[in-house]
Amino acid sequence: MTKSDPVSFLPLPQAQFHVLVALTDGEMHGYAIMQAVEDSSDGVVRMGPATLYGTLKRLVDSGLAEELDGSPSPQDDQRRRYYRLTGLGEKVCTAESTRLSRLVQRSRSNLRPRLA
């Protein structure tokens, strides 16, 4: 059973959010997602293969991502499975980004006196 209200998915587990953010760049196969996550986190988040595919399974099961029937173009590796965001996945990613940005704003405003 999949939920349809984006807010009901929040807060997203860190690994799921990283993968969703990676997929906002377009369709990707597993290893490309792994690299994108590492790049976007400046090397802080390093997923292992099973963590990555476990996360992808959860995202697909909950309707936030979907597997493509084939590769996006003939030049791409035909042996690999490609994934992309669904409409719901985009909404959830946006909602989580908004939630986190509010949290960061609040944190900055609370910490400003100490940082000054």
Partner 1 sequence: MSTHRRIYESMLWLYPRDFRRNYGDDLVQNFADLLGDRGIRSTWARTSVDLIVTVPRYRLESIMSEEKSAATINLTLAVLSVGGMLALTTGIYPITVVFWIAAIALAFVQRGALARAIRTPSTNRRRKRIRIAAVLSLVCAAALFSYFVDLNDEKISTASLLIHNAIGNTAMIGAIVYLIAGLLTPRSSATSRTA
Task: Examine residue 106 and tell whether it contacts partner 1 (CB under 8 A).
Answer: no
Long-range contacts of the stretch 36-39 (C-beta < 8 A, 24+):
none
Interface residue with partner 1 among 44, 50, 115, 116 (CB under 8 A) is 50
Helices (H), 24-86: 30-40, 49-61
Task: Examine residue 81 and tell whether it contacts partner 1 (CB under 8 A).
Answer: yes
Of 18-26, 48-56, 84-92, 106-114: span binding partner 1 (CB under 8 A): 48-56
Helices 30-40/49-61 angle, 10° precision: 100
- Structure tokens that stand for 14 in this block: 């860190």
Interface residue with partner 1 among 40, 41, 51, 62 (CB under 8 A) is 51
Of 5-13, 27-35, 85-93, 97-105: span binding partner 1 (CB under 8 A): 27-35
